[in-house]
Structure 1
């Protein structure tokens, strides 16, 4: 294949633009903020699970204390009723029965109050743990929000630069013939690099000094001949620096 020397040299600018675009794409996919955000997502998920569990404990304890308080109220009502009946009763048998029931109710009331106290202490413990977990998730979410802001700013900067590089790349590509451009694109897609400078006998595509036999063939090529690097398979661009 033959192509004007000026177009071949333009391939170096095109490759530089493509290299920068690849760097920007890699940078966008590997932002340190995103890496930490991915870690935070797992941590926030774990803490949220703990938060739900502690809230569940609190709900269970509150239901339990409600039941105990209801039972205490029932016992208190029965005791009030029995004491009222005791004051008006004249039957020895009824009095003995009421006194026995009142004693049992007092014991039940004492037991319920002990249970109520234990549950209230448990609620205090749960609330303390709930405060710690809530604080922990608050710290994580604050860090997440700040990181998202930083990440979005970094992505916006990358997007802006990428748009500028793409415009330059399109302008450069517009000045290169279709056949040469197609070869460049094909080699770049296959081997990762489409064109490189040959300088002092070294291919910048492979960073390897070419064998003398390969250099001899290149010396015989006409200036407008398109030459491929025998190592990296990219288009070798020859200039005054090539050492031929």
Structure 2
């Protein structure tokens, strides 16, 4: 059983996303440790990119703040090395194909594996084009995590069959961001996955309140929250650790007994 599988083996998983370097890499490092203490089961680390097409305004703004603060992929790798001296919480990078390409696909994935990352999510790489990344991830033991959307329909079975780690189920069409309600039939989407492969399904995009988290976790194996946390980082800057910790604790508590 790998690190990611372990996450889902003891109840519903809470998976927070943060943008590396917003407000600073020092704070990002502290946030990972604080969120783990607050009950986070796996953390998605966003590597900032100048044109993050899947992101709404909150995460776009965080990307720009981080990049203007001088964040680079190498500096993020160094931060992960420091985190790994203090924590073994599963960590997954979320970024864009261009970031990996420009670094060198093999060099990026090999380094990510060496520093102790567990997986990689590239939301702009469609299933049909994943092979060049997936093959290298398999070579170095990194899970290349697939996304399915409400429009994936007949492709869901194909995606599930080849999936690793967990499946990222996109709850709503459009970009990331807080939504007042989620109308997608998540249950049938997840059922299609499970028919093909016994792989955990975590739902993200639009979840921001404990009530939403609880409703989603009733049908899914995990809940992913990004924009609501990144918003707190934007609002509080270097003082974000306490409010983010409280938020993560409340979200984990909402799904803990399911």
Shorter-chain TM-score: which interval?
A: under 0.3
Look at both structures and tell me which one has the larger radius of gyration over its CA atoms.
1
Greater relative contact order (Cα < 8 A, sep 6+): 1
Instruction: Say which structure is richer in strand.
Output: 2
